Amino acid sequence: MKDLTNLINDHLRPVKALVFYANKQDDGYVECYDMDDRGMAINAHPLSVRESQKLADALDSSTELKASYLNAVDLFPENMLYINFERNGFMVWHTPAQTVNLFFKAELGLSDGRANIPALVWKATRHGLWVWAIKTEGRPDAGSQLFCAPFLNVYDSGSVCMGSVRIDIPKNCSVSQFTGLWEHYFFDSSFSHTIAGSDKLIGIWRSLIGTDEPFPTSQLKKTDKNLIDILR
């Protein structure tokens, strides 16, 4: 024991500290702290994917993690916010305000075309997708307010009705493939369903399609959720 203590004192120093939070339903959240040169915990932040992978390697459980469909065969994208490595787990990521091509069913009376959209937060499993809008510039944090995603086919809960779109997420899908496939399914299919409040959305998109106008974030509808609320 004395030799081990000397080894730690001479060659190793604390660099990270983890605090695990859980409620009665076993929903959990992990907060990570960096350690300064004095061994004091600083810079509290949600445990990142890179830190999670290092922890998995340290515990020699990386083989089990990679057996799930959200495997880490390549670098994790910078826009990833949270990942659940269980066999039927999910991932949360964000995208900035950007210009995209939008497609609509003819009966909606909207022309297909490019338009500016707000920043988004995405949550997906292999079989389902949820999308919210945010007003946060840059990377959102746990307290970032979520707004209803201003798209047809999206319910106030964030759940997306994919209609007849054939979803095919491979069992061995990597993280970067996963986000790319879901964004492709969402934007490269035609919006069709009119949900409560759709008339207002149709008017907004009619004014934006084919223009350089930024999305009017003042028109976003606030939800009762912050980012931390969807990490379960």
Is 128 inside any structural domain? yes
Is residue 18 situated within a structural domain?
Answer: no
Q: Are 192 and 106 in contact (CB under 8 A)?
A: no
CA 123 to chain centre: 5
Q: Residue 63 falls within a domain, yes or no?
A: no
Q: What is the pLDDT of residues 9-37, one digit of tens each?
A: 445 577 788 888 777 666 667 888 888 88
Rounded distance between C-alpha atoms, residue 213 and residue 48, angstroms = 34
Rounded alpha-carbon distances, angstroms, from residue 163 to 105, 135, 160, 177: 12, 28, 9, 22
Q: Which domain holds residue 222?
A: 69-230
Whole-number Å distance between alpha carbons of 129 and 182? 8
Closest CA to 205 of 128, 101, 123, 119: 101
Q: What is the dihedral of CA 182, 183, 189, 194, to 10 degrees?
A: 90
Predicted local confidence at residue 157, as pLDDT: 93
223 located within any domain: yes
Angle made by CA atoms 61, 67, 72, in degrees to the nearest 5? 80
**Residue 41 in domain:** no
The answer to whether residue 122 is domain-embedded is yes
Tens of pLDDT along 187-221? 999 998 767 667 889 999 999 999 999 999 999 99
Output DSSP code: residue 158: S
Q: Of residues 149 and 85, which shows the higher confidence score? A: 149
Residue 171 or 80, more confident: 80
pTM equals: 0.70
Q: Beta-strand (E) ranges in 36-175? A: 41-46, 80-83, 91-95, 98-104, 113-117, 119-124, 129-134, 145-148
16 lies in a domain? no
d(CA 46, CA 57): 19
Tokens of 19: 């605090």
Looking at the structure of the chain, the number of domains it has is: 1
